[in-house]
Every structure is written in structure tokens, then in C-alpha cells.
Structure 1
Amino acid sequence: MARTGWQRWLFGEEQKTVLRASYSLTYYDEGLLTFINYAGGNPGLMQSLFLNPGMPGFPIGQLRLSDPTPPLAMFPEKFSPPFRQAEYTFARGFSSMLPQLRTPYIQTWTFGLQREIVRHTVVEVRYVGNKGTHIWHGFNLNEVNVFENGFLAEFLNAQRNLAINQAAGVNSFQYRGLPGQVPLPIFEAAFGARGSQPALPAASGFSNGTFLNYLRQGQVGAFANALAGSSIYLCRMVGNQLPACARLGFDSPGPFPINFFQANPFAAGAAINLMTDYSYSSYHGLQVQVRRTYSRGLSFTANYTFSKSLSDLFADSPTMTRNYTTLRNRRLDKGPSPFDLRHAFQAYWSWELPFGTGRRWATGSSVVDKIIGGWTLSGIVRWQSGRVFRLSSGRFTVNQNDSGVILNGLMTKDLQKMLTVRPGPNATVFFVDPKLIGPDGRANPEILAPPTTPGVFGQFIYLYGPSLFLPDLALSKEIPLTERVRFDLWVTALNAFNHPSFEVGSVAGSVSIMSTTFGQTTATATGPREIQIRLKLSF
């Protein structure tokens, strides 16, 4: 850690104005949790033992409690290095860490001007900025490919085949030799016979309902991921070239390479998570603060911050894996960070009410003084803009990551203005304008629609949820009984006005436009009003 600062008094000998600047460089220790999560989840550290009815030695309904325990099954069967990834295909993914993983660091700089405006009260205006470098970021390397391997082109052909077949009354995308149709060699390999393995029935292939929906919705990424992660389909495409397929009884090679869809086929359909130091962050904030030191029974501090926080890592946990939208263009993920609070105001104060002995207005009566004298009112009030979230659609038009949304006829700033809080059904709360919700509870497709163009992402829209308002108030009183005995009373009201502040985003609320509960939430960022009463007798 390195720190330096500078300060200079301005404008004469009164020293009411001061100029300050500072810079710091701080390295951040991520600790061991990330290492444990990424190394501890790989094969080699644990062996699973299990026993299910119907397994060898465990006939269903034929054993008694007095019989010896049947032999346990083990996975993996052998527990000795080296652990080959090929032994775990179709069962799990893998994790690793960048060998040259560097320590993340934060550079922070400030520049501010402070001025005493009246006695005991100063105003300070300052700029605060920071930049995070080498921030750790775990993501999946096994992104499905639909471009270079020709799968996207075949998907488009399959869409045309489906349209032609449906016009002829057939709900299938199989090539039937009709005018305008073309053969589909990739799908024919995935659904057809391979060596001693028979072809799949139509319900598992060309007429499969899920696959037909993928074609209608343009979800080429979802289709590719479904084929890549299933031994039923991938093994028919690659045959016994993939060791796992040979173990499953495929006895002849297929026409396609084992890495047709993914860079590491030994984790077929699963993730290859890599922890890197590729990410970054930035923060820029304007802060205004008014402070009054204790004088005449009153002290307070109030501050307001207008800021922007950006990053390419939309995650608030150092152990969280957050995939890039696509490895082809990591810049697509640059946007607001989860810590982006555009506006924040906070004030706290303590005010000795001016009644009673030793205060501005004495009562002249010991009885009255014990009733209205010696009271102190204090509080903390916080208001801040809402938590940032990103709209999703649950559609996968490029790879296995969400493809965003399509915004029709509006700009993001217009959509932001349509976020509001109103009561919903079944003790829920809507945080969007009714115009944004369709009759089935999903987003209104005339305004917010899912992407449908194969191979093309939609828009990635960041919005800010409902603001947070939290007033905490306290009233206290000292009651002297004798010279040596004092009675103290505190009454504290947390969330004094019982104002609910609702949460939206990764922690709560439905932000998927295809959800039937889109725009609804039941979670609150604060609890209900809580009143605490404390009594203390001092002697």
C-alpha cells in the first residue's frame, strides 16, 4: 500500500479555505476461498460412495436389516493419478486458474475544496475517482461455436425446411426433397445411425418439440448447446473418436471432429471455468458535504454523492463465476457495476432540545424540568437510488449465454422513467409501468421482445430499481434523581416511518421479460419499523 496527500490553506490568515488532494495504491488480497472453490471442485480430491435400490447386490425388496450391507458403488471407480478429463465426459466440468494470476490493485485519487461558511460549519466539495486493475474474473472457456463449424448456416436451412414442411402439414424440419428444401448433414448425423447404434426416433430428432421451438425462436445457441452436451447426439456425430462415446458402445467414427461445438469436448456440455485477472473497474464521484461541529447543542453531517461505477464484471462476489457474453468480444460486458449508485444522500445529527436546566430555556421548576428538560433528538436518514440490474430474456441466439432483449420504439432512458412501485397480486409489488406487462404476465412484446435473429445478440439494457429511503430516529433523556443517581431513557425507531424499500435485480424480483411474473418483487431491502426502548439506572 502506498499513500500520499497534499494540503494548502488559501485566502489569507483566517484559514477558512483549504485545498486537498491525495493518491493511494492498494493491493487487495483475495484470500483462499477462490483457490478452494476452483481447485477443490476438480476430480482427485473426493470420491463419491453411493448405493441405490436395484444396483448389483441390492435387489429391491429382498434385503433385511440383518443382512450385510451390499458393496457400495464408487465414482470415480479408481482413485489414482493422473486423472484424465476423458473419464468424466458428460458427467462434469472442470476449473482452473491462470498460472500467471496477478494480485488486483486499486488506485484512488481525490481533489477537494473545503470552506468554513459560518462558525463551526464547513462545506466541502470533492472529486473522488478510482481504477481497479487485474480484478479476478472467473468465466467459462467452453462457449459453444455456431459460426466457423457451419452450424448457424445449417440452422437457417433447418428453419426453411420446417416452414416448407409445415406448409405441407408436417411438423418436422427433416429434408423431404420438397422444393426449396436442402439436406441437413449435421442434424442427420446427430439423429441418424452410427455403427451399431440405431437412428433416433423422430420424437427425439427432427420432430422433437424442444428443437422445433428452438427453430421458431431463433435459438441457435440453445440448439447447439443441447447437442453438445448430450451423449445421444454428440456421440452420433463424432463416434468412437471421443473416448466417452466408445465406452457407451459407439464402435465407429463419426464425420465430425470431437471439438465441433466446444474447445474442450472432454467437458461436453459443461463449463471449463478459468479464473483470470482480466477484469477492470472505474469509479468517478462528485461529493458535497456539510459538517457542523457541536455548538449550542447541535451537531450534524450531511452529504450527497453523484457517481458512476463501471466494470466488465457484473458480479459482487470474488468467488462468483460470471461468463462473458461472448469470448469473441469481451467489450460487450462493459457497463454499470453492481455497486453503481448514481445518487446517494445521508445525514446524521444530534440536537439537544433547548429546554431544561443548563439549556437555553430553563423551566424554573424541578418537576417540569424532569418532564420536558434534558431531551436529545438524533437521527440518521439515508436515501439512495435503486440497485442496478440487467434485463434478460432466457433466449440463446448466439451461444449458451442470455442474448438480451429487443427494445421497440423506446430508448433506455425512456424505459427507466417507466419504473415505478405499485401494489400487485398476492402480496407482490410491481416495479414497472403497467404498459410494460402483457396479459399473460410477461413483458409487453410491443415494447420489450426477445431476440429472434439466429447468430445475433439483442440489446443489453441496464436499469435501476426503486430507490431506498431509510430514516432512523432516536429520542433520549437524562433524568437526575439525586446528585449520585441518574436515570437514562432511550427510544429508538428504526425505519421510523415504516417506509418499505423494495429490491430488484440479482437479489430479488423478476427481470426476465419472458417470465410470467415479470416486473414483480416481494423482497424488501429494509425491515419494517422497529421501536426499541432502553432504560438505565446509574448510581
Structure 2
Amino acid sequence: MKIRPTLALSFVLLALFPFLVDAQIHRGTIRGRVTDYNRAAIPGVVVKAIHTETDLTQTTTTSATGEYIFTQLPPGAYQVEMEKPNFDKHIIKAELKVNQVLRLDQALKVAGITQTVEIVAPRTPLKKDSSAQGNVIENQQITGLPLDGRNFQELALLVPGAAPAAQGSAGSVRGDFSFNVNGTREDSTNYLLDGVYNIDPKLNTVAVRPPVDAVQEFEIVTNGYDASFGRNGGAQVNVILKSGTNNFHGTAYEFFRNSSLDARNYFVPADQPDPAYKRNQFGFALGGPIVANRTFFFTDYEGRREREGITRVTNVPTQAERNGDFSNSFLPAPINIFGQQPQPFPNKQIPSFFQDPIGVKIAALYPLPNRNVPGQNYVSSPTQRDRQDHFDVRLNHAITDKTALTGRYSFADRTLFEPFTGASYPQIPGYGDTVLRRGQNAMISATKIFSPSLINETRLAFNRVANAVNHQTQGSTINRTLGLPTVVTNPRALGLTFISVLGFSPLGDEFNNPQNTVTNTFQVLDTATYTRSSHLLKFGFEFRANQQNGFRDVQARGTLNFTGAFTQNPLADLLLGLITYSSSAKVDNHQHLRTNSYNTFVNDSWRVRPRLTLNAGVRYEYNTPAVDAQNRVALFDTTAKSVVPVGTGSMPRAGYEGDKNNIAPRVGLAWTLDSSENTVLRASYGIFYDQSALAPGEALYFNPPYYELNFNLPTQTSLVTLQNPFPNTFSAFIPKSVLAIQRDFRTAYFQHWNLSVQRQLGENRIFEVAYVASKGTKLLAGRDINQPRPSTAAQNLRPLPQFSDITILESRGNSNYQSLQLSYQQRLSNSLSVLGAYTFGKSIDDASGFFTSSGDPNFPQDSNNPGAERGRSNFDVRHRMSVSYSYALPFGEGKRWLSNGGAAAAIFGNWESLGIVTLQSGRPFTVALQPTLDNSNTGFANLGFNGNDRPNLVGSARLSNPTPERWFNTSAFVTPAFGSFGNAGRNIVDGPGYANVNFSMLKNISLTESLRLQFRAEAFNLFNRVNFDLPDNFVGSPSFGRLRSAQSPRHIQFGLKLLF
């Protein structure tokens, strides 16, 4: 459907209007009503909001109904002053959080002797004007709570409805942190830094993550947020950096970890020492005035240096096997060369003159065994090295009392060497990766106060993320040294061909590398608020231009596979130079993706009555389909039944037309139920569109003629040998896999709704019970539209036999989430702060993401029946509870005990205890057949587990007493009859649960009045509980049903910080 001309015209007019917004989501609002003690409104009261750290002031007067409002306020401490003749002056001291609407109602006393009345507002006020679910993580929690790696994002898990992403998910590799919220996907979270775009659009992950000491606070909104938020349909994470003030403040610190203080991992082999580990994190933060009350600066730097021994156990050939002597090895059958009479070698020894010289050299690349364990005769622990650097610079300048400028630049750089790249790749040293990542984020904003009721902010932002992965033998001419013919035409792809010898560790670098991606995002926003009477109006527009340039040389070096097809021993086949099959790719597919986003909205927060606020708004989002700037791409056309260039005939440049129907209404209320204003009922409903990551759009680049993957199989008359592993012409026809995009592809969206009751329990304690739900529609998912029906036929032809897989990207996914959520907050009451959350929920979908995760292929077993995939989400957590706390021990100056000083007070005084306790039930996983099995006889899928066939379920998978050796009832799963799919559902078995305690003790030592030293000792996984990963889920695997890995054991960290 096309946009009506009138609607299109209105967007053009909005773009020209000078007061447009994307919302002041990095700032806050203070509003209230001033009355006398009889609750009668007092108009004409002069109200000032003073930011205490910079003395910047806004002034307004109350309306005829006694209302006042301040918008576009930076978070921080405020002093709100109220004055009118014949009344005492009232001063309210309050803390304003990011994106908070802080209600400060006040009854004024008739003038008397007192003259000035000072009031301290509760640190944990009820949300009397907002219907959104979520929380603000304050600076004290960010800098105080124990965080392994000092990644403040992990504190998002303290919010109800949030849980870590599924094991092995696309966003959680290489130590990155990713999470799911309220049934939405991990790539559905929108990340903002000071209110501007902070995303790597390739996978929708964070672009720049500031250090802990640079963050003032961050807000995570999980459900029911107003129309000012957009881009993604999951959580909105808004991080606010610190600003300079009229006083100089700063920190300098170092944190240190060493393996000598750590517990032993459950799965480290008994005959091996613990791998070495060292980590140093160090840095500083400094802020202050350049010109008092006018110009302020803030800057920070953090470095991280990490060295970790990574242990891998694998199988390598013995010296005898490398020499061709299999007398002590499994070689049960004679060599079976097509068309020849089998002739067994005497004593299972292959004479040297029969051996292929290239095969002999390849076998010599293996190290010799170093332990006497059959099938696991080699262990190594090479060092993984991780270097990270980050800095920020921020300037704030008040041109006048009504005009201000802000500028910020953030930079993050990482160099990671991985000695091992994955379970399917070499498990011996020499074939690692070097991962290079650099993120940059810059922002300039100008704020203008036109009147107390109209404020405008314009922002320009730039975001750049560069990612590269280079293989360890990159540039090497090792193939030439081996005498192995190569298909590499691009020098950057030089290196060892990937060689798989079944039963042994593979050789060669990861065949997906090298790869390089650079994304640039340009953002223009104009922000304004307009207040009139009891209405707070927000409306606006945002434009983003995304560019992604790069390459991925997938299979450019080719692969060689030895499975024992000739001798029934894969290594013997290698020594004879007999290849089971080979593959290689012609790669000429440089990426130049381009897409733009246009967003506009209007929102009204209407205080209908003193105890009732209605929030209503509508948002419109249009994301242009991602296209190649040079049109050097092609897609499979489902109508023409062939691969065609984009932009020709009826094929759009992106493979589909843009979705222009993305209108998202939202409505909510906050109703204070009692006259004492201690109970608030909140509810909301809304539609939230979800912009997909760019990575799936790379499907455009993996079709002929720009990318062609060729397979070579031996026939009865022709062999594939090491002398010519990639023949240019071959008699066997191997159909090619191609990709397509649904022609009427649509933007995914979520519906959110919630109903909650919030109750004030004393001055600084709040309890909330909430029903929170979401429903996802038109979610991105893939399937093979060229899959044949299951059959026992020797040749089960596909619908289009000239092709192999035809993987199509579709907007067909659905999800549903329902939950009960409880939360408790206590802020600094009796030296104790507590933040608790509990969620009882269930998430169901038919695909939990586009990419695979451990235990879930996210690809249908039967692509002709994708509805059969409906089951629990791979991130479904039925029960999750988290509790964080900080407690200042009652010893030392100003405390209950040891308050008079002395040696005991110096030793035992000024200690704080902080911790995070987490309990979580297990996630589900899918039991599948071995990846090499095509039991249904429908071919191998292009994505997922390679083969996605599942077994038959013939009993209960649950065990009353599961153990690491048998986590579930493996006897309940059997291989189905050939030519049929199994009846076992998706994600029907629960994995291990999770329980963890992170604990820290810190001591503050006063050096001078403004200088103190802080010592910290932290333990992660304090009680050293073994938190197992998912078990082996493949029927037919030797370790089927066993737990084979675990998360980190107890780690100890020390820190020293200087604060002034």
C-alpha cells in the first residue's frame, strides 16, 4: 500500500517545521501543582529549577490551575524554589533521572515566622505520570556493584523481564553481552548514548560501550514506552555520560585479576594445569569547569589488557598413522577405488610409493599426541590476547541562560586474537583469528529555550563501526609449499585451504574469513516540547542514513573433506590423496548496502486530574529497503524460477518494495488511587515496529554471478584427488544453493501491553506487581522453498532440481509472551539500598532469531510446514530472580559503632558490602539428529545445523535425578524411519538452571577533605557453583545427553581507586 499524497505532504511540512523532535529521551521533566493547604490552586507562583552542580536555572510561573512544568532538564540534583507574596518560600531538593517525569506537588504555607521551608523529595518516587515498564540504574549502582569485566550493561538484568541471550547467540559471541526482554529478540533492543543512535546495524549490537566511571546513569525501558521511542520493538537502553560541573571531580583506578586466585573449571582435564589468566583494567575520569557557570568539560579513558589460556582437547594422528601404518588403527576394509578390484594392503600398512606426497605433507601439519587418551590424545592451551581502549570527551557550554551547546566524541578500539574459532574448526594451535573492532560515536546538540512553554533541541550525530576478522595464516603461501593447487585469486584470502579429516581435528583457517565490514550512520534530530495548561506535548522527526561497506570471502580458499569413503579410514584417504568431496567459491561480491530511516511522532501527556494522567501518541516509521549502491547483486526470482539481477524487470533493487504502513499508536494511563497518593495503577498498550539488522540483507551478495559455490564429487569414472582438488570442468552436476527475499516482505512489529500497581512503602521503598505481555508479528525467519517432501526414493528430486537449497528470507515469524513481574526498590534507607526483581513468564515463537544458537537452529525441520516449529523460545526462562544490594557497615566516623576514631575505626570503619544474587531456571533446547544425517531424505538446509532433522519422541525426556553424564532421558529419542521427519518438537527439553552470587567489599579511606582512596575486593560466583552449559543434543553423538562445558568458576578481583 502506498502512502496517501496528503500524508506524504504532511511529512514534508513536518520536516520544514522548526520545532520537530525525536524526543528528549536523554533528559528529564519536572512538573507539579502548587496549592494551598485547602488544595486550592495558587496561580502566579514563581518556580525555579536550579541544577545544583552547575547553577543553570530555568524559571516559570504556575498557571491558573496551579500547574508548572520544566522540560529538557539534564539528569542530576535539583533545587526547586517556589515563591509568592504572602506565602513562605519553599525549597524542594530532588534527584532527576534520565527520561523521568518527576512530580513535585507542593502545598504552600501562609507566610509566618519560618520564611523558608526546605523539603527533601523521596529518592524513589512513584511513577505518577508514566505507564512504561522499566527502571533507571543509578550511578551508585553502576560504580559500586560487582561487575566482572566492568560492563555496566549487565545491570540491565536487574530489571524484571530481562534475561541473558540464548547460549551461542549471534550477539553474545567473543565476550559481548546481549539480552532478551519480555519475549522480544536480542537484536530488537535499541541502544542510545546521550539520546543518539549507538548501534552497530550489522547485528543491532552496541557500537560504543563507555567505561563504568564515565556513566552518570542509564535507563532501560522494557514495555509500554511512549511514542518518542522507536527503531526497535524490544527494550530501549539510554546511557547518559557524565558532564562537568563547577567543581573538579575525577577518579583514577586499576582492577586486577589473576588465575592464581581463581577456582578450577569443572571440565579442565585432571592431568592438566589450570590455564593461565591475567587481566588489568585501568583508567581515569575527570570533569570540571572551563568557565564557571558557563563552560564545562568531562573526559575519560579506560584500557583493558587480558591474557587467557584457552584449553582444547582433540584427536591427532600418531606418528605411525602419519607414516601410513594402520596396523593398530581402524582400517577394516580394503581400498575401494571406483572401477578397480579392491586390493588390501598387507598388515594395514600403505607403502610409501602409494602415498600421495601432498597428503603426506598435509598429515605432517598435525602435532604429535601429547597424552595417552584414545580419541583425545592432544591438549593445548595457547594464549588468547585481548586489548581494548576507550575514551570520551564531552563539552557543555551555556551561551546564554536560554541557549546551550553540547558536543561529545566517544571512541572504542579492540584487538582480539583467538587461538581457536569454534567447535567445527581446528582445535590445534596455528589457525586462529585476529578480530579488529573500532567504534566511534559523535554528537553535537543545541538547546534553545524560546519561552517557559517551548523548548527546542537540535542534534547531529555520527556513528561508525569497523569490524574485521583476519585468519592466522593470512597472506601465507603454505598451499604452494605443500604443492596443493589453490583456487585463491585475491591475495587477502591467501592461506591454508580448510581440510576436514573425520575423526581428527580439522586443519586450516576458518573458511568464512577474511571479512571486513564498515558501517556509517548519519543522524539528524530536532527536539521540542510544548506545554499548555495540563498538557505536555512532544512531537517530532528523525532522519538516519545507514551505509555498510565490506566483504566476506566465504570459502575463497576452498575446503577438502576426507570421510573414509574409500578405505573407511579418513586419514588413509588423505595419505592416498582421495577426496570425498571438495568445494570452492568464486567471490566477487563487495558490499555497498544503503538504507535510510524516516521517523515522526506526536505524544501528549495530559494531566486530566491531579491524580490521573493519560499518555497518548502515534509514531510513524519508514525504513527504505537495503539496496546495493552499485546494483551488483542478484536474487532468486520466485516467479521466473531463476536468479536475476536486481533492478531489472519486476525485481526491485532490494528484492522487495518498502513497507509504508508502519503507523504505531500508543496509549497509557497512570492513576493515583488513594488520597494519600501512595498507590498508583498504571496500564498501557501500543504497537512498536522493529528494524532488522543489516546482516540478513547480506543475502543479496551470495548469489551468482557475484558469488558461486561449487562442489566437486567423485564419480564412477573420475576421482577428486589432491593433485587436482578443484577441477574446472567436471562431469557430475552439482546444483547450486541460492537465496531469495519474500517479494512482499514487511517490517516486523510487536504489540506491548501491561497492567501494574505500584505501592509506596515508606519514604524510600516501592513495591510493584505487574502483568506484562507482548506479541510479535511478521518477524524475520528463513526456510528452504526448494525442499522436497520426505521420501525413501533413491533420488528424491527437489521441486526445482536445477537448484539445491533456495533459502528465502520471510516476514512470517510470530511470538507470544505473558508474564507476572514483581519488583522492589529501596534507596538508601538505614544505609541499605536494594533492587529486587522476579519474573514468572513464558515465551513462545516459531523462530527465536534469524541466526542459530546453541541448541536451536532457528530453521524449520520441514520448510513446507514452518508452523510445526511453534514452541518455547530458545531464550524462554520460566523463573528468574535477581537481587542487588549495597550496605554501608555501621562502623567508623558518623556510624553507630567506632564513631570516635582510633586504630579500630581506621581498620574496621567505612566498609561497604555490595552484591548481586541471581537465580534462574533452565532454558529449553532442541534434540536433533547428527548434522551429517539427512534421515528425511530432503537435503541439507543452508542454515541452522546443516541438517535440521529431529528424532521421534517415544517417552518422557525428563529424569528425576539428572547428572552431568546423563542430563535427560536419551532413551526417549530414537531415529525415525528413513524418509520421514521425527515427531519431536522444537525446544522441548530444559537445560541446566543458573545460580550465582557476585560479592564485593570496599573500603573508603579519607586522605584529605576532598580526596579518598577506595580499596575493593570482589568475588564472582562467590560459592563456586558449577553452572553448566547446554548438553550435547545430537542423537548418535558419543556424548549425546552429556554436559560438556560450564560457565566460569569463582574468580577474584582486586581494585584500587582514587576519588576526588
TM-score of the superposed pair, with normalisation by structure 2: 0.33
Q: Does 1:332 align with 2:868?
A: yes
* 1:344, distance to aligned residue in structure 2 (A): 0.7
Give the aligned partner of residue 533 of structure 1: 1054
After superposition, residues 125-140 of structure 1 pair within 5 angstroms as 125-140=769-784
Provide the residue aligned with 2:801 in structure 1: 265
Are the structure 2 counterparts of residues 372 and 271 from structure 1 closer, same or farther at C-alpha, using a change threshold of 3 Å? Answer: same
**Structure-1 residue corresponding to 2:888:** 352
Q: Answer whether contact 2:898 2:904 (CA < 8 A) is retained.
A: no
In the alignment, what sits opposite 1:452?
A: 977
**Structure 2 residue aligned with 1:370:** 906
Cα offsets for 1:232-266 (capped at 9, x unmatched) = xxxxxxxxxxxxxxxxxxxxxxxxxxxxx211111
Aligned counterpart in structure 2 of residue 517 of structure 1, from 1036, 1039, 1043: 1039
Deviations 1:78-111 (A, max 9, x none): xxxxxxxxx9951521101112111111111111
In the other structure, the counterpart of 1:159 is: none
Distance 1:518 1:367 in 2: 61
1:405 aligned to which of 935, 951, 956: 951
Match of 1:440 in 2: none
Partner of residue 18 from structure 1, selected from 669, 673, 680: 680
Judged with a 3 Å threshold, the aligned counterparts in structure 2 of structure 1 residues 373 and 266 are, in CA distance, closer, same or farther, namely same
Decide whether the 8 Å contact of 1:139 with 1:321 is kept in 2: no
In structure 1, what residue type is equivalent to 2:704? P
Flag the structure with higher strand content. 2
Corresponding residue for residue 839 of structure 2: 305
Q: SS in structure 2 opposite 1:278?
A: strand
CA separation in 2, counterparts of 1:318 and 1:455?
23
Q: How far apart are the structure 1 equivalents of 2:961 and 2:841?
A: 21
CA distance in 2, matches of 1:316, 1:416: 29
- CA distance, structure 1, for counterparts of residue 994 and residue 893 of structure 2: 40
The gaps in structure 1 that reach 5 residues or longer are: 50-59, 62-72, 78-86, 147-151, 153-219, 229-260, 425-429, 437-442
Distance 1:88 1:114, change over 3 A: farther
Aligned positions of 1:113-124 closer than 5 A: 113-124=757-768
Q: Is the 8 A contact 2:1016 2:1056 kept in 1?
A: yes
1:483 and 2:1029 aligned: no
In 2, Cα distance between the equivalents of 1:262 and 1:475?
64
SS at match of 1:496: coil
Query: Please, which of 796, 805, 810 is the counterpart of residue 276 of structure 1?
Result: 810
Structure 1 counterpart of 2:1014, which letter? Answer: D
Equivalence for 1:107: 751
- TM-fit CA distance, 1:285: 1.0
Separation in 1 of the partners of 2:808 and 2:732? 18
Over 3 Å counting, the alpha-carbon distance change for 1:318 and 1:4 in structure 2 is farther
How far apart in 2 are the matches of 1:32 and 1:448? 38
- 2:920 is matched with 384
More helix by share: 1
> Any conservation in 1 of the 2:747–2:778 contact (CA below 8 Å)?
yes
Q: Whole-Å Cα distance in 1 between the matches of residues 898 and 842 of structure 2?
A: 50
CA distance in 2, matches of 1:112, 1:418: 37
CA 479–535 in structure 1, closer or farther in 2 if over 3 Å, else same: same
Out of 466, 485, 494, the residue aligned to residue 992 of structure 2 is 466
Letter in structure 1 aligned against 2:1053:
Q
Relative to structure 1, is the Cα distance of residues 512 and 103 closer, same or farther in structure 2, using a 3 angstrom cutoff? same
TM (norm. structure 1) is 0.63
Quick check: 1:305–1:344 contact (8 Å CA) kept in 2? yes
- Structure 1 segments of 4 or more deviating over 6 A? 73-77, 318-321
C-alpha contact 2:702 2:708 (8 A) present in aligned 1: no
Are positions 1:39 and 2:565 aligned together?
no
Deviations 1:456-512 (A, max 9, x none): 6423261111101121111111112343542211111122222221111xxxx3112
Letter of the 1:7 counterpart: A
Where does the alignment leave 5 or more consecutive residues of structure 2 unmatched? 1-229, 231-618, 620-665, 711-721, 940-946
Structure-1 separation of matches of 2:728 and 2:887: 68
Match in the other structure for 1:502: 1028
TM-superposed CA distance for 1:316, in Å, is 5.8
Matching of residues 60-209 of structure 1 within 5 Å = 90-146=734-790, 152=791
- The answer to whether the Cα contact below 8 Å between 1:123 and 1:289 also exists between their aligned partners in 2 is yes
Task: Report the alpha carbon displacement of residue 19 of structure 1 after superposing the two structures with TM.
Answer: 0.4
Whole-Å separation in 1 of the counterparts to 2:765 and 2:728: 70
* Counterpart residue number, 1:214: none
Shift of 1:47: 6.9
1:314: how far off? Answer: 4.5
Query: Aligned partners of 1:34 and 1:348: how far apart in 2?
Result: 38
Whole-Å separation in 1 of the counterparts to 2:1018 and 2:1034: 40
Is 1:5 aligned to 2:668, yes or no? Answer: yes
CA contact (8 A) 1:405 1:458 kept: yes
Structure 1 residues 465 and 321, CA gap change in structure 2 (3 angstroms):
closer
Give the letter for the 2:923 counterpart: R
Which amino acid in 1 is paired with 2:823?
Answer: Q
How many residues end up aligned between the 2 structures? Answer: 375
Change (3 A) 1:328 1:47: closer
1:361 aligns with 2:897: yes
Residues 493-534 of structure 1: CA deviation (Å, up to 9, x unaligned):
122222221111xxxx3112322211113222x322221111
Q: Distance in 1 between matches of 2:1010 and 2:814?
A: 60
Give the CA deviation at 1:43: 0.9
Residues 301-323 of structure 1, C-alpha deviations (whole Å, 9 max, x = no match): 11110111111115463999844
Aligned in 2, Cα 1:459/1:329: closer, same or farther, shift over 3 Å? Answer: same
Evaluate the alpha carbon distance shift between residue 103 and residue 371 of structure 1 in structure 2; reply closer, same or farther with a 3 A threshold: same
**What percentage of residue pairs aligned between the two structures are identical?**
26
Indicate how the Cα distance of structure 1 residues 321 and 99 shifts in structure 2: closer, same or farther if over 3 A, else same.
Answer: farther
Distance 2:732 2:697 in 1: 22
Matched residue, 2:283: none
- The one-letter code of the counterpart of 2:668 is G
- What letter is aligned with 1:354? P
The answer to whether the Cα contact below 8 Å between 2:672 and 2:680 also exists between their aligned partners in 1 is yes
Contact 2:737 2:805 in 1 (8 A): yes
User: Is the Cα contact below 8 Å between 1:497 and 1:529 reproduced in 2?
Assistant: yes
Counterpart-to-counterpart distance in 2, 1:345 and 1:336: 20
Other-structure match for 2:269: none
- Measured in 2, the distance between the counterparts of 1:48 and 1:144 equals 21
Q: Amino acid of the residue matched to residue 528 of structure 1?
A: P
Q: Helix, strand or coil for the counterpart of 1:497?
A: coil
**Structure 1 residue matching 2:905: 3-state secondary structure:** helix
For residue 873 of structure 2, what is the amino acid of its counterpart?
S
Code of the residue aligned with 1:405 in structure 2: it is P
Deviation at 1:31, TM superposition (A): 3.4
Aligned partners of 1:322 and 1:262: how far apart in 2?
A: 22
CA contact (8 A) 1:47 1:75 kept: no
Alpha-carbon RMSD: 3.3
Q: Distance in 2 between matches of 1:273 and 1:48?
A: 14
Alpha-carbon displacement from aligned partner over 1:14-41 (angstroms, at most 9, x marks no partner): 11111001223221111322111x1111
